[in-house]
Chain A
Amino acid sequence: MNTNTNMAKPDAPSAVEAWEPKIVAFFCNWCTYGAADLAGVNRLQYPPNFKVIRVPCSGRISPKLILQAFRNGADGVWVSGCHPGDCHYIEGNLYARRRFTMFREMMKFIGIEEKRLHFSWISAAEGTKFAEVARDVINDVKALGPAQKLIKRKAEVE
């Protein structure tokens, strides 16, 4: 049983003008998730276009999850974890880094726009960096327009 729940599709012309990108953000519980909190507490401004999924570590992020976000209509994906050396589990983000490197190369190769996929290291103390990166991620994705590739729509079958 497939339990996909697609996000709204910006199809109608009027919707395009008012279109805002939808970004799936995977944040590590020990750092970036805290940074988002801190940015909020400090009343730093950043656009609200992302849906946050809290994960125990950036090492938890399998390319499956990123592909799944794109399949369900995400316009962009943002993965953020602890700075190298600061991983709560010592080395989770370092394994993740290699995985992301290879995955990103493949995504570029198959023709997914490079700027739809973002990675960052943001510690729990970096509320300012968080707001900055959030703005950049959203602007980058906004500039690309709505995602068109890999989206799982109603199956085109006979």
Chain B
Amino acid sequence: MQQYTETIREIAKKLLESGEVEAFIGYRKGSVPMTHRPVVIRKAEEVETLVWDSHCALNLANYVRDQKGKIAVLATGCNSRNLVMHVKEHQVERENLHIVGIPCTGMVDHRAIKKAIGDRDILEVREEADGETIVVEGKDFEERFKKSDVLQRNCKTCKHPNPVMYDELVGELLPEPENVGPCEAVEEVEKMEPEERWTHFESMFSDCIRCYACRNACPLCYCPTCFVDENRPQWVGKSIDKSDTLTFHFLRAFHMAGRCTDCGACERVCPVDIPLKYLTNKLNKEALAIYGYEAGMDPDSKPLLDKYKMTDLNDFIR
């Protein structure tokens, strides 16, 4: 995906110089390996700082709400579906967006790389021109990984690598993958007994430090006041008491029902490595199984929980 960088710079330059957009949202090369910084560029001469590679995994849809006027934004498959959701949920006007679509071959899981490297100091992680090899360099080592082995979990099971809504494209559309495997994390838990599942989640979330990185990295979490910040009634306590932490995560996940595009930002940003995908993936799975619904695939339809059919599933209701 590295070769996209040049094209992105050209597009950004063209858009900013012509005055078609007021700002361009993309990535700047990070000061540490595997983390790039989302940037809002307003001047054409700044486009040279833009980059694109396999470490651009925060969701840029998260940054469009703060902007005024027409803006351009880079969008991979999942990011573009979030932009669709944003338009549907009236967070941004379609005509104020110039979407630069990126057919995406997946993002690298920084945890997988760090785990494989151990406590050695990683100085640089780069991508070979073939787009399939990731090279990790340190002071006295160099290791190579096959990109497909170190992809983020959500990218491994990605069904929609191409943007669904865009004004122009960087590169050629990719073939939609067939026979994408199910989310293993969910299947694993489904096999457990209810008691086991509870213990599983209790221990999974026991590391949570309530920093809200998962919430803040998520483009869906734009409530002016989040339920964890509400008092009177106070839905959730502020300490790291396990009942409060669990309530936060369950309710956060539920708020993603029918909206999550599985971009993986929540899981990527967690400073204590909690596999947050379990809950949202389960809800995605049920939304598809019960209603045949996938978030953000169709710009014209209403969101899942904002519509109904008389024939909707009713068999659990007396």
Interface residues of chain A, those whose CB is within 8 Å of chain B, are 1-3, 63-64, 67-68, 71, 84-85, 91, 94-95, 97-106, 108-114, 118-122, 133, 136, 149-153, 155-157
Residue B304 lies at the interface, judged by CB distance under 8 Å to chain A = yes
Q: How far, in whole Å, are A3 and B230 apart by their CA atoms in the complex? A: 13
Contact between chains at A120 and B197 (CB < 8 Å): no
Of the residues B200, B237, B291, contact of A2 by C-beta under 8 Å = B237
User: Inside 8 A of B199's CB, which chain A residues have their CB?
Assistant: 111
| Least CB separation from B198: chain A residue | A111
Residue B241 contacts which of A3, A102, A114, A156 (CB distance < 8 angstroms)? Answer: A156
Greatest chain B CB density within 10 A among A63, A102, A113 is at: A102
Size category, B interface: 35 or more
A101 touches B244 (CB 8 A): no
Bound complex: CA A98 to CA B199 (Å): 28
| 13 pairs, A vs B, C-beta closer than 8 Å | A1-B234, A2-B237, A3-B234, A63-B254, A84-B314, A95-B308, A102-B305, A105-B283, A109-B189, A110-B198, A111-B192, A111-B198, A152-B247
Which of chain A's residues has its CB closest to B194's CB? A111
Q: Given A101-B290, A102-B258, A105-B283, are A152 and B318 also a contact pair (CB < 8 Å)? A: no
Chain B binding site: helix, strand, loop or mixed by DSSP?
Answer: helix
* Residues of chain B at the chain A interface (Cβ within 8 Å): 189-190, 192, 194-201, 227, 231-235, 237, 239-244, 246-247, 250-251, 253-254, 257-258, 279, 282-283, 286-287, 290-291, 304-308, 310, 312-314, 316-318
A61 to chain B, nearest CB (A): 13
Instruction: State in angstroms the CA–CA spacing of A120 and B316 once bound together.
Output: 8
Given the known interface contacts A94-B310, A97-B317, A110-B201, the answer about A64 and B305 at a Cβ–Cβ threshold of 8 Å is no
| Closest Cβ neighbor of A78 among chain B residues | B318
Which residues from chain A contact B200 at a C-beta distance below 8 Å?
A: 111
Write out the residue numbers on chain A whose beta carbons fall within 8 Å of the beta carbon of B195: 111
Asked if A155 and B241 sit within 8 Å, CB to CB, the answer is yes
Contact flag A67-B318 (CB < 8 Å), given A2-B234, A102-B286, A156-B242: no
CB distance from A156 to the nearest CB of B (A): 6
Contact partner, B283, options A91, A98, A106, A118, Cβ 8 Å:
A106
13 further A-B pairs in the complex, CB-CB below 8 A; given A103-B257, A106-B253: A64-B235, A67-B251, A84-B314, A95-B306, A98-B305, A98-B307, A101-B312, A102-B305, A105-B286, A122-B318, A152-B244, A155-B239, A157-B241
Q: Which of B197, B232, B243, B314 contacts A97 (CB 8 A)?
A: B314
Residues of chain A within 8 A of B258, CB atoms compared: 102
In the complex, the chain B residue whose C-beta lies closest to that of A110 is B201
